[in-house]
Amino acid sequence: MLTVLLVVAVTAAAATTAALGVHQLIGALLVGLAWPVGAAAADGGGTSGGGTSGGGTSGRTDDTGGGHADRAAERLASTARSVLLPFFFFGFGLSTDLTGLRWDARTASVLAVLLALAVLAKIAGPALCARLTGMAWRPALTVGVLLNARGLTELVVIQIGYQAGVIDRRLLGILTLVALATTAMTSPLLRLLDRPRLTKRARSGARSGGPPSPGSHSPCSNTSGGCRCG
């Protein structure tokens, strides 16, 4: 019953925001923010803390309250991720024609400038803020690299802008390439930042002879007659 109610609520909210001129994703987002996920679990934890009936009260409260809401939301979200989300990317791919881009000097320069600005703003800005709060440079740059990955969010925003007429088809293709490039460079950059730590660990292990293998004994072992070496 709750699953049907959630489907109706998401559909109605999406249709309402679309009729108001706002993207239907905003309506679905508002329903997700308002849906009581985990509320009863927190109440149950407080009840069990009072010492009346221990953990059993928490479990019953969760099952009769927000537990059903949690399970309904999880079932619907799992179905959307496995069934509906691929169709979103399918529709996005249909509306994006990368082969239609005219690869002249202007297009290449716009792509290069946007990619450089996107990487610089997302890596340097957060890394500098993290450094100013006391983080070391390597963890600070790691934060920036992780934020540099656009992924699904960027594609959704690009699609919304294209449907609203804010960007044309040419800029849609360029921004899609920027989103794909910044997402693809995340893993190589993380490995590059982590290489000094791994190298230092390998050198430290080589100097110490590596960890002792299971079942090995130290050169000196205590016996009943004292310390015997060898």
Residue 150 has what DSSP assignment? -
Q: What is the pLDDT along the chain (230 residues), one digit of tens a residue?
A: 788 888 899 999 989 988 888 778 888 889 988 888 764 444 444 444 444 444 444 443 444 455 788 888 888 888 888 887 788 778 777 777 777 778 888 888 999 999 999 999 989 999 999 999 999 888 899 999 998 888 777 888 888 888 888 888 888 889 989 998 998 999 999 888 887 776 776 767 666 655 554 544 444 444 444 544 44
Phi/psi region, residue 135 (left: phi>0; alpha: psi -120 to 50; beta: rest), is: beta
List, in order, residues 6 or more apart from 160 with CB less than 8 Å away: 23, 25
Query: What does the alpha-carbon distance between residue 52 and residue 33 come to, in Å, rounded to a whole number?
Result: 32
Query: What does the alpha-carbon distance between residue 104 and residue 116 come to, in Å, rounded to a whole number?
Result: 18
